[in-house]
Amino acid sequence: MTHVFRRVALAAALLVGAPAVFVAGTTGAWAATATTITVDGTKGGRIFDGVGAISGGGGNSRLLFDYPEPQRSQILDYLFKPGYGAALQILKVEIGGDTNSTDGAEPSHMHSATDLNCDRGYEWWLMAQAKARNPGIKLAALSWGAPGWVGGASHTFWTADTIKYLIKWLDCATSHHLTIDYLGGWNEKGFDKSWYEDFHAALAANYPEVKLVGDDGNKGWLVADAMAADPAFAKAVDVLGIHYSCGYTGTDKGKSCVDSANARGTGKPLWASETGSQDFNTGAFATARSFNRGYIDARMTGYLNWPLVAAITPNLRFAKVGLMVASQPWAGSYSVGRLSWAIAHTAQFTAPGWRYQDSASGYLGGKRDNGSYVTLRSPNGKDYSTIVETIDATAAQTLTVNVAGGLSAGTVHVWATNVASTTGADDFQHVSDVTPVGGKYTLTLQPGFQYSITTTTGQGKGSAKGSAAHGLALPYADSYDGYAVGTEARYLADMDGAFEIVNCGGGRTGRCVRQMAAQAPIVWRNGARDPSALLGDTGWTDYTLKVDVLLQHSGYVELQARVGTQAHDPSQVNAYFLRVANTGAWSIVKSSTGTPKLTTLASGTAKALGTNAWHTLALAVKGTTITGTLDGAKLGSASDASYATGQVGIATSQTINVQFDDFSVS
């Protein structure tokens, strides 16, 4: 139904309350700023490629796989199901490299040149789940690191072996009946022009449908400048993708986006191939701005939010960054963030292949602080959607829309989110239907809102809710015997290296967890670190972690207790360690995010563990006392009051294989 407000009534209403939108017909409406646009089916702009999110670059989806049903399916629906939640149009995943990539590590499909397992990790499962909900979703992938063997003597990513390794990954995707649409190089590590040219040739020969993205860098449009100077390199790159083109952090994020004449001049798709790094609620402000202004300022047509979901424990650095928070699989609890609805304001009203309307995209009243709008039309030239944000506006303003050029003059549906609200009831609401009069209608927009104005239907807001949050109860134990070989143990999250289910060695039957990375990886940043994995509740206080261990090589094995805050990587973490070497040398160590990183609290030498023999290690924390034992005999104790609560973990020295079994916390 059309609601017509006369000027006096509208002005009075604005004084006493501010609903999401007022609608005016030919009588007009009052506001501080007035903007008039024409959406014309004969006018054009660049092709829209889609909005999506990134699973990877940090292990941020790890705990999602361990959620029970129906909560796991509910989370997946909120992420991927059309007309329900974020309705993502692109899913980008990490090609696991056995190395930390922010808040965790993902396993490689090839730990060595002779090893291939196309079922490792959770990204294959996640892509299949996304496709099941939206068969039209586009799939993309990128490496943050890689197993060391691909680097050869130079230990670099830019090798022929890496190209073969990535082609093998695409073979794995095919085995899972997944078609990959986009593939990148090395995350935020620049580009090697010859490598891109060689990789493009390999894709053309093996997977010609895959488009190569360059360069996933975070230093602006350097790739475009290089392409302008080198035609062979320009031919090799199909999509130009850069990171955080509209800013990284701060209250100004998304207010303006970096443009490049060289980038535009390529005529190729321009993407924000990573954006985000924002809180699952407050990140809606920057996202609403960026998804509009990226096109207005820089003609960017694809936007990928990092990360997809915060399915990690709360002691990790980006614990509430993503579209949703899902950190308690044992409880089945989760929260849908306002960021999901900020993305839905584009994703539920468009589709890849729609075309932007340059003449109906810009800034309200010609000023950035008033807000922005972009318009896209469907390939059939009938439907259109206009997405508006008034994030920084300070007063109501009007938007008058004239419809022309064969576009539908029928009913327009208006959806709105009060981005500044603190209640979910104000997220993604269908607030009005408008019937144009003489091909024209006017809306009054409130400050601090995001709007979607569309001739399409089928939008919706999911209503499922997670279970109540609660801690993981003790005692906790896992024999590992119930898992398939090559999978990951429940709740055990790799921070570095690769911890995977294997058939036990050393004469033991059943299944064990084994650290698989036996060569220093090609890391994304900060150098190689000890492989480690975490499990449990950050609220655990006094307990004993007991694990059977078998060292396959010389080195040390480590148990971790009261694992708390982790900074930039697993080498910067608040925790207590018990380290025992194959020689019998042992130490109780305090690890810190500050300086010094490691402080030895107690040390000594016990009987040698040797290699390929099973032993039982235990690390107990009670009050301020930390105690280590080996095969039931006390190694030593230390006293420290730095950390009172935290998770447990297992770790090894670098480049060795260690097996773990009969894991318990009591």
> Is the CB of residue 143 less than 8 Å from the CB of residue 186?
yes
Residue with tokens 């007063």: 395
Given 94, 123, 188, 558, the catalytic residue: 188
Residue 618 CA to residue 434 CA, distance in Å, equals: 68
Name every residue whose Cβ is closer than 8 Å to that of residue 91 and which is 6 or more positions away in sequence: 52, 53, 55, 80, 126, 127, 130, 137, 138, 139, 140, 308
* 188 annotated active-site: yes
Sort strands 493-496 and 532-535 into parallel, antiparallel or unpaired.
antiparallel
- Each as own residue / partner, the long-range contacts of residues 589-592 (CB below 8 Å, 24 or more positions apart, any chain) are 590/640, 590/642, 590/643, 592/642
User: Quick one: which H or E segment has residue 296?
Assistant: helix 283-298
- In Å, what is the CA distance from 358 to each residue of 37, 131, 294, 386, 403? 11, 31, 13, 12, 15
- Token pair for residue 320? 């509430």
How many whole angstroms separate alpha carbon 379 and alpha carbon 302? 17
- Rg of the Cα atoms in the chain: 27
- Kindly name the residue from 94, 106, 123, 274 that is annotated as catalytic: 274
Does the annotation count 274 as an active-site position? yes
DSSP of 39-50: EETT---PBP-E
What are the residues facing 605 on neighbouring strands?
A: 585
- DSSP assignments along 314-334, one per residue: TTSTTTTBSSEEEEETTTTEE
Place of tokens 């099941």: 132
Q: Which residues are known to be catalytic?
A: 188, 274
